[in-house]
Amino acid sequence: MIKRTNYILTFFKGIAMGAADVIPGVSGGTIAFITGIYERFLNAIKSINIANIKLLLQGEFKDFWTNIDGTFIAVLLGGIAVSFLSLAKLITYLIESYPIFVWSFFSGLIVASTIFIARSVKWNIKTVTAFAIFAVIAFFITSPENSPLNSSVEYWYIFLCGAIAICAMILPGISGSFILVLLGQYLFIMKSLAELNFIVIGIFLCGAGVGIVTFSRVLSWLFKHFKIITLASLTGFMFGSLNKIWPWKHTLTTFIDSHGAEQPLQQKNILPSAYTELTNNDSQVAQALIFALIGFLLIFMIEFISKKIITKKNIVS
């Protein structure tokens, strides 16, 4: 009974991780970190190696399944998939209809996630320097005035986006969806999920499979040898990236997407007052602050609930 309950909890943790990676504000890796399954998740991914693949090819399915912690991974991925398929259409609609509210909410998530990861860092001259360097790099890379790296939808680029975005998913700090925003493919991938475009989804997942198996080993090495520096760098990158999702923007140039709709290409961050003057629309500052606060508190609410569940589980054990 306890084992079944554990898998139910794992499934819901997967749902939370999937929701986090659909939203460009908090990483699925952060949720895994908060809910206490991060190391198990990373070790399971690492176990998909040549030796275990040989077991599978030789028909030793039981040993293969045990070695890769198969039931845990299957249940977790099931929860992630449910989130991806159920939230994609909703998120796409909200971004297009209520951009200020959505980006404010995402900003609150990122600020809270930055604070949460920063609490795991022992701050000294080295970690502060790493934080500052990556914050500055991220600030310039993520400037909304920069054009996305690629606004096209060639299959090779979709594959590459999958490989890069999935790496962010297993990092406790950077959102995979946020990486897709930087790569200029977030809305396209969300629409493809919402419309069940299996060709795009399949290519993206192939890239994700290659990326996660490869990068899990790199990440494991970094965490083993430079864990605190790595966390400090991720914290700086998140903090510096906040300007990318500033809610009030003025569009400088546009492009036509694959659906024939006009989309922003280059934008400039502006103050709410300037937004009202330029667009003749209400800047909705009060509502934006409320949504930012909700996003901010959500991360710490998840942490609080996770601690309660883990404490209860330890008492039962």
pLDDT digits (tens, 9 = 90+) for 58-85: 888 888 898 888 889 899 988 888 887 7
Section 197-217 average pLDDT: 85
Question: Which domain does 249 fall in, by range?
Answer: 2-316
Q: What is the pLDDT of residue 148?
A: 57
Q: Between the CA atoms of 36, 17, 296 and 176, what dihedral angle is there, to the nearest 10 degrees?
A: 120
Question: Mean pLDDT of all residues in the chain?
Answer: 79
Section 148-170 average pLDDT: 76
Report how far Cα 145 is from the mean position of its chain's Cα atoms: 22
Section 28-57 average pLDDT: 79
Q: What is the pLDDT of residue 1?
A: 44
Q: What is the pLDDT of residue 66?
A: 87
Cα distances from 211 to residues 45, 155, 164, 232, 317, in angstroms, run 11, 16, 6, 23, 37
CA gap 148, 143 in Å, rounded: 10
Q: Is the pLDDT of residue 206 over 70?
A: yes
DSSP state of 26: S
User: Do 182 and 142 form a contact (C-beta atoms < 8 A)?
Assistant: yes
User: Do 18 and 208 form a contact (C-beta atoms < 8 A)?
Assistant: no
Q: Is the pTM of this model over 0.75?
A: no
Q: What is the pLDDT of residue 2?
A: 44
The domain tally of the chain equals: 1
Closest CA to 179 of 201, 194, 161, 152: 161
Section 102-125 average pLDDT: 85
Closest CA to 193 of 184, 203, 179, 183: 203
Q: Is the pLDDT of residue 127 over 90?
A: yes
Classified as helix, coil or strand, 54 is helix
Q: Is the pLDDT of residue 317 over 60?
A: no
